[in-house]
Chain A
């Protein structure tokens, strides 16, 4: 069982820092060799987990959910009321989705998602997070200067649009529903899903290109 002892774990971290090689590739190789040798995981399982995230789990899942919401008002309401349940229609539930909250952009509000304390992310809906999302710069700045951050992503908000930043401090995970672009009336859910980007679901993109 864990000690749950802050002083003890601090000391272990210091010892590891002193004794491990500085190259992270060597550190990961050492951990992988160790756990494979202990019989805790097979090397092929690691390869297969990587393939799972490369091939099957990624932003296309979130895009599919939002495209359905745009084309099915009843589903839209369910997504707003309980996204954690609504994504189960697609079998997309998984790592960090149970308490998903969908937040919609409007002509008056732009939503932006961050996790300042770690890097919480709805993995099962959006796949692995981009490096910038887990970077110190994004975590530090998104809450204090969201407009400057958005400008670096090429986003300028129209006058009268306020930002609402969601800092994922508990187990809720946030999914931004971008505004459906004009000119997509009559499009199928598949056509719509193809234009919904990962960044638009985090909030670092506002306008979708059609």
Chain B
């Protein structure tokens, strides 16, 4: 979707704070832990991302990263009916539950280690493209969730790897787990940017087959 998350190539953000820490505030660490430890049932990684992209654009662009995660965790659970807006505002549960068991650091490590999700899927469709093929990406803005950034839409590139089929992000954001062939496509910087810094530079993106046509 053509939203505020699609930042590649956008101008005027200024210098990078190269010495910034991992966190500025304690609440950022706590929100990170909350997001990883409290899952809303049925939320896919792509619905999580898509929901985050639908924040008011001015808010998305101006608040700290983990503040967005905080709002998104609330929004996703309000959507499913697990929390109400009032509960999120007051921090008080309408119906308190039985206290959850404590996870030790070792338990957390076991949980963390289990999060290596395999997104590859076996499908009965042969790949349309192969190593070395020239392709062109879809030039039209995609409704809903998409992982084809606008800076690379309508651009010509070359397949440098095929990864088999992976769960298609656009579908995953709708709760559909269908898969398509996934490729790494390498683009020449000069095919993406009129004022590329160096013609030999390249940008590589991982793109699903529905984004691509033969060029």
A contact set with B: CB distance below 8 Å: 1-6, 8-10, 12-17, 19-20, 24-25, 27-42, 44-46, 48-53, 55-57, 84, 91, 93-99, 114, 116-119, 124, 127-132, 134-141, 143-149, 152-154, 162-172, 204
Contact = CB atoms under 8 A, between A and B. Distances in A.
Interface residues of B, number: 124
Interface in B1-32: 1, 5-11, 13-18, 20-27, 29-32
A148 B201 CA distance: 13
Contacts of A145: 197
A162 B186 CA distance: 13
Contact of B9 (A31, A98, A144): A144
B91 A34 contact: yes
Given A33-B92, A138-B16, A2 B201 contact: no
A167 B8 contact: yes
B47 A2 contact: yes
B13 A141 contact: yes
A11 B13 CA distance: 28
B205 A29 contact: no
B112 A94 contact: yes
B56 A143 contact: no
Contact of A13 (B22, B23, B75): B75
Interface string B79-90: 110010101111
B175 A2 contact: yes
A39 B97 contact: yes
Nearest to B25: A25
Contacts of A8: 79
B79 A12 contact: yes
Interface of B: 1, 5-11, 13-18, 20-27, 29-34, 36-38, 40-45, 47, 49-52, 54-56, 59, 61, 63-67, 70-76, 78-80, 83, 85, 87-93, 95-105, 107-109, 112-120, 144, 147-149, 151-152, 163, 166-167, 169, 173-175, 182, 184, 186, 189, 192-193, 197-198, 200-208
B197 to A, nearest CB: 5
Contacts of B151: 116, 143-144
A156 B151 CA distance: 25
Nearest to A170: B206
A128 B22 CA distance: 6
A52 B105 contact: yes
A210 B184 CA distance: 34
Contact of A4 (B89, B152, B174): B174
A154 B63 CA distance: 28
Contact of A25 (B21, B27, B175): B27
A27 B59 contact: no
Most chain A beta carbons < 10 A, residue from B14, B34, B148, B151: B34
Contact of B70 (A27, A84, A204): A27
A106 B184 CA distance: 20
A37 B205 contact: no
Contact of B101 (A42, A139, A164): A42
Contact of A30 (B36, B79, B89): B89
